[in-house]
Structure 1
């Protein structure tokens, strides 16, 4: 058989550690599909929508630390997949989008579905390339992966003209480029250690630049050595054990007043693995720039992300883990911070945990989430779509060192099910629970068909309040008693699940939640649990009632 460019691209994927790709097949990259047909080192997951495929690839990248791969056809396929590009850019996740393109003689002639990805997605992509000749494929593919992973990770688009895929590539070999991994300088570590040693009320903000198990272990050791509380940023709750005495909780999409007050009192902020965007800086309010200014140690592997919005006292251009290792090797001294650590622990207690008494029975979702959390395993994986329903998940679930959380940090609806699919395929023997709202599920819930086809061990929990509830809550605050355009008419989600070949359960009152959850947990394979709740019964109302 002739060795084609299609085989060369498949070899390039394998050379970069790719063992799974998500796609909706298209006639514009048939040779590549053919090249993958007889391989057993790359699993091709056929999805029902390119948007889902892109979101699943992003989730897989979060789990592996490698670039996720999504394949789509040109035009509509590429634009459908662009949701994944947006999420990857917002959350700094490495992603390769392979796009089947029209044949080279018809480029720039307005051929059917022709699209220039570089121009169309310029604001999102770190780099884009259109492959034009077989001899440049090894170089361009290596460059694409390097671009996706270097500095601030992000999305890269590679256009594949369909006639090029069928060309011979005899004698050409896939190649990889070694990735430059910045490490902290000796002077930066000395200055960071000096500031930490002198600080009375330091706080560490941890983002998602590094998500490895060894990083998390060393983060615990670092916090204990320097006696400093740790706050995990939005959807990063799994970065630090939730039962650890030094965990001060998670900054959510809407940060609690308790966390805002804690950050206000800090006399040093150590930001590790975050670009300090609007959510992690509470609307660019912290570190405080007015007097008394809060000193900042900022650790990130990209110079463009440091000193961009805030005055930085110690700029550490480094990977998060390399910084921790250097700080662990440095001598540590610190003042007595007992009172400060008690304040941080009080904030954690105020913002996390399930009230044992007083939560109204009308809050069916809260009781259902509590019942599910009681069955959650220490090495389980939980995914959350975007929406207010996730508030109970983050408050009730206590995540252990081996737990993984895949959340929509940038607020992209529809991510819950694709992330759950990716997690269940990556770790088929681990418990995976995907939490969605009714709106988000109906955006990408068709991937339930993919989960059934793959016999994925996935539980999907749908909060059905017949509303785009988060948007409605904004309406109620801005225009009281005037909700409009946010009501939904929904199907029977449990019956819908059964029509897909999955199991379906319904929880419509708090009293039945423990029993139904127990029954659903006993079923292996795709399961959908519909929780019917009242959009007016918010988490805040339940917390007030429980006091």
Structure 2
């Protein structure tokens, strides 16, 4: 079969992808969509990345959407392929990232017989996607694809899942692609903006919490200008640390797990919270305690592009439904002289500077010092990609996410995200330094995507933090059930040897000096590089907590 014999429906689907400016697809191939694979043969507009597991596929697509602001695109087969890919759909949903997952499905005449690998995808993905549907008619492919792009980008961004019946992809059709879908850019209401400025002007100790919901470089630039003009302390929501420059004199630090205690107290003491883009979820608010849903003695201004998020959990004193860049630009340009600049912004920034400066420790491999050395050695716009685990706390606290995007990390706490996200980042930004940071348990969930990195020749540095345990769960276990270790210990491979077997370069580091030497050597090389960092399980968190310390609490 060649490109001239691609069935009409499959050829039309590829044409629709091109029309939507889809320039990259991540996939594990399946027989259920062979027609589409044939349609992609020889296609110069779309870069096809073949991965090693569907979880890696969907994580890469999720990360790609986070970087571009347009849907990351994934193709997987039915049944096991789709269920493997569901983790990335869940991340895209909770992280508010645009993504479209195409799933090859059983033929239409086989439906409802529990055919081979049959799943009701609308029912399966419905709770974790913005929209899940099946394209039963080839003539409606343009309609469904355009709608998928529009839904994925509009309001609160998120994932869309479209099932493609195998037989439908071979149908004849004369339908034509629809034009490119554009994200609606809703400006804020001028009256609401005036009310917001008045509320901020009347406040004694306001604080902003920002990031998410389509935040981009334009939103970052304009909101930073607004906050700096009025001296407003700005905290970033969980894993949204690149939403403002760390060099900004009003940046107050990040919320999430292990935040600066002084920042927590500042937010609790604030009389007004300005939440822009942030949903104020469980991680950002430490279980809805830093800012409570009813927040007595505090006013809440909530700005979000999706009206469904406004007033959903929190009592809201002023709700603004607006696109993030549009709102930020309006705020930056609004200067009616009603707000006397606050002193709190520079004070909060000084507190963050102190908190984020590494202090030497007695650990043989001191991760705080290692992150500090990375800061000194790698470019300021280095992209840090990590999954879930206690190890991430060192980078959350000590790394400075300068530039946008520079942080790719799942706010929903999914393990295995870091390596696939870093592969996607290195492919999207080949001239940037990209670092995947993984724990030992985290790494082995999708570490096989090192093969994808090598296959496509990307430059990628991987740092594996190996403490021989599921460290985060061990930490909770020691807190709840002291000295009763159960199911959290790990027997690990030689990660450096594993990377070499994939065709990369690797080094093992058991001391801080060994890490520094390895980083310098890695920086002078191209391709896949991995540093295997071996630490004691007692060294649990950037806050300095240890297993022994937890036992006494």
Partner-residue secondary structure (3-state), 1:367: helix
TM-score (norm 2): 0.94
Match of 1:222 in 2: 226
Tell me the distance in 2 between the aligned counterparts of 1:470 and 1:93.
25
Tell me how many residue pairs correspond in the alignment: 541
Alignment of structure 1 residues 397-436 onto 2, 5 Å: 397-402=399-404, 404-436=406-438
Match of 1:40 in 2: 44
Native 8 Å contact 1:288 1:294 kept in 2:
no
Match of 2:496 in 1: 494
Match of 2:143 in 1: 139
For 1:362-398, what per-residue CA distance to the aligned partner results, in whole angstroms no more than 9, with x for missing partners? 3443333333232220222111121111111122212
Match of 2:541 in 1: 539
Partner-residue secondary structure (3-state), 2:485: coil
Native 8 Å contact 1:380 1:402 kept in 2:
no
Tell me the distance in 2 between the aligned counterparts of 1:541 and 1:233.
19
- Flag the 1:320–1:541 CA change in 2: closer, same or farther, 3 A: closer
Match of 1:310 in 2: 314
Q: Name the Cα RMSD after superposition.
A: 1.8
Structure 1 residue 6: deviation in Å?
A: 0.7
For 1:74-95, what per-residue CA distance to the aligned partner results, in whole angstroms no more than 9, with x for missing partners? 0000000000111011111111
Match of 2:342 in 1: 337
Tell me the distance in 1 between the aligned counterparts of 2:48 and 2:405.
26
Alignment of structure 1 residues 94-173 onto 2, 5 Å: 94-173=98-177
For structure 1, the 5+ residue unaligned runs are none
In the alignment, does 2:240 pair up with 1:236? yes
Native 8 Å contact 1:378 1:402 kept in 2:
no
For structure 2, the 5+ residue unaligned runs are 547-553
In the alignment, does 2:250 pair up with 1:246? yes
Match of 1:21 in 2: 25
Q: What is the aligned counterpart of 2:190 among 183, 186, 190?
A: 186
Native 8 Å contact 2:539 2:545 kept in 1:
no
Partner-residue secondary structure (3-state), 2:22: coil
Tell me the distance in 2 between the aligned counterparts of 1:402 and 1:181.
20
Q: What is the aligned counterpart of 2:511 among 506, 509, 531?
A: 509
Alignment of structure 1 residues 261-340 onto 2, 5 Å: 261-288=265-292, 292-330=296-334, 331-335=336-340, 337-338=342-343, 340=344
Structure 1 residue 172: deviation in Å?
A: 2.9
In the alignment, does 2:362 pair up with 1:360? yes
Structure 1 residue 178: deviation in Å?
A: 4.6
Match of 1:196 in 2: 200
Tell me the distance in 1 between the aligned counterparts of 2:214 and 2:144.
26
- Flag the 1:370–1:98 CA change in 2: closer, same or farther, 3 A: same
Native 8 Å contact 1:20 1:42 kept in 2:
yes
Match of 1:383 in 2: 385
Match of 2:550 in 1: none
Tell me the distance in 2 between the aligned counterparts of 1:291 and 1:186.
26
Partner-residue secondary structure (3-state), 2:377: coil
Match of 1:437 in 2: 439
- Flag the 1:450–1:292 CA change in 2: closer, same or farther, 3 A: closer
Native 8 Å contact 1:24 1:48 kept in 2:
yes
